[in-house]
A and B are shown apart, each in its own frame.
Chain A
């Protein structure tokens, strides 16, 4: 008995308690809503059964109905474009900025700190600001492009089906840039300086040093940044109502916004849940790929 108590104080029991508490917490806060969501996607839900758990079983009817929606494939395509373009933009520009600010020049850390402003601001505010910037007739962005001679006619970023999704992508890249830069800066700082010095003595140029030292040493950081980026982008919501509301003609609707629209604008809660379950499967798939790709990583 005393051995058991002892192990609770300092031993395997203590570890189990800590892990168990975290697991319980996860189950209650993430697991239950998830199960509820999956359950809802297989049920017939209306305003009268919104609060109850036992509802008529619908089988795969909700899934069939979602796929049969005329906008389903458009939304799928938009979601993929939005996720990959946003992640690519956030990562590449964030990485470039992180490397830029890793150079020691006066004020480097102060200016880097200023970049965090975008990260601190609520998405709706960022959306409203970009909504003004990207406005068609009197927007700042068009004025700049016109004065540079890059465009002649007004570009309607938010109302042109060719650009609407990209206007949200631009705003989202700006929003997520600072977070990417911050994480990548930390990763950069963790690389021992003497590796670079040794490489330089051996005659490696800047590109070779980046390719053979920076990238391999930051493998786990990059993996984490990309998977967090995927999750952050998939759950991005605020920018859509602020910028395009999914329009024109659904050309900027992505899965997350669509799920919200189904549940809270059309009051079709079952379909909303169904779409989010589909998204969850996508994220699950992405995380499995991420976990597998970092499995053989050398630790230390």
Chain B
């Protein structure tokens, strides 16, 4: 008897809760991003601020580690558990948008007061577009350029950073000094996306692209890289070092030049105890065509979302805060209508101007739904040449055949 009584009470209690709930009804928008894993980032900070506004939308934010992001998203999407909004690395975006996994926001964006697609740089905008439709919005962008140690340049009597590929090889050789453990240059030729990220611009400068990798200039470029490693002007460990670790040797004064991106600026400003500057990537010939890699993340709304309107509102809120992107988070907005304020650190401000210039030449990787396989063909060929296992032409022909098989 007592038990039934209790059960009845519990029933009433639950019923009351159920009835009370609609009064607090809020639409929960799930957002996934890598931000906030180490330090406060864009998505976690903005989501918190959005929730504090107490609208009828609440963001349920989750940090996903960079390496697991695409996997988790694929699995979640396959099992119908996808979040409403996700922020992805730009080459991974086409995998989802090309298959209709992301919501087509072309019309919503056109009708929006906050979003204006005409202000975005062409590359980032391409990476969120597929088949003429808009499947997301760029979050921020970055690219790579040449960092150089001005003190070491002055000591070696070199006035200017190298302008062409062959100058780069010569300059690196001149700056190499085994007695002080100094390499001429450091970069990342790792077996992974970073390797492709660093080598693809060279292919593009020579008139090639991701689906046309065996152009003569691409062969010349990789042979130049090999010459640098063979002459010990760069450590052979560039084959296994990521960009962050690779640039670490530049910061410690053990490399006179480094190829990396603006994400290095904060650390370099404190770590590097010498005068440094940033130059545009050297071109194949004097005044030749420029190119650079396009990095950065995008926002996308999953097509499976039950609250597309609310999710779009959240997206609009994120975009409306783009002006804070650089001052607060050291990320460069992917749009040309935001003037980046001075940071008060002269070296950083000077560097930022070069990166903004370099961004004009940045080209997205792909977009292609099977980008990861294309990328592997490129970095495999690059590594085969750099380790001297396969001649440059042959390796790139092989990569081209593999890529043709993927792109059809």
Contacts and interface: CB of A to CB of B under 8 A. Distances in A.
Interface of A: 47-51, 70-71, 135-137, 156, 158-161, 164, 244-251, 264-268
B389 A161 contact: yes
A249 B389 contact: yes
B236 A156 contact: yes
B313 interface: no
Interface in B61-91: 70-71, 74-75, 77-80
A265 B66 CA distance: 12
Interface stretch (B37-45, B147-155, B237-245, B286-294): B237-245
B103 to A, nearest CB: 16
Contacts, number: 89
- Residue of A137, A158, A246 contacting most chain B CB atoms (<10 Å): A137
Contact of B237 (A136, A266, A268): A136
Given A248-B383, A248-B386, A136 B235 contact: yes
* Chief secondary structure at chain A's binding surface: loop
Given A160-B387, A249-B383, A137 B181 contact: yes
B78 A137 contact: no
Contact of A136 (B191, B236, B390): B236
A249 B387 contact: yes
B380 A250 contact: yes
Given A249-B390, A250-B383, A251-B389, 7 more contacts: A48-B78, A159-B387, A245-B192, A248-B239, A248-B240, A248-B387, A249-B386
Contacts of B238: 159
- Residue of B75, B190, B383 contacting most chain A CB atoms (<10 Å): B383
- Residue of B192, B240, B254 contacting most chain A CB atoms (<10 Å): B240
6 contacts: A48-B99, A70-B402, A159-B239, A248-B191, A249-B386, A250-B380
Interface in B223-248: 235-240
Nearest to B376: A266
Given A70-B398, A161-B389, A248-B383, A47 B78 contact: yes
A245 B79 contact: no
A71 B191 CA distance: 14
Nearest to A71: B380
Contact of A249 (B236, B384, B402): B384
B101 interface: yes
Contacts of B390: 249
A247 B235 contact: no
A156 B237 contact: yes
4 A-B pairs with the lowest CB-CB distances in the bound complex, closest first: A247-B191, A50-B78, A249-B383, A159-B239
Contacts of A161: 387, 389
B306 interface: no
B373 interface: yes
Contacts of A245: 190-192, 240
Contacts of B166: none
Nearest to A136: B237
B372 A266 contact: yes
A47 B192 contact: no
B95 interface: yes
B190 A137 contact: no
Contacts of B74: 47, 50, 267
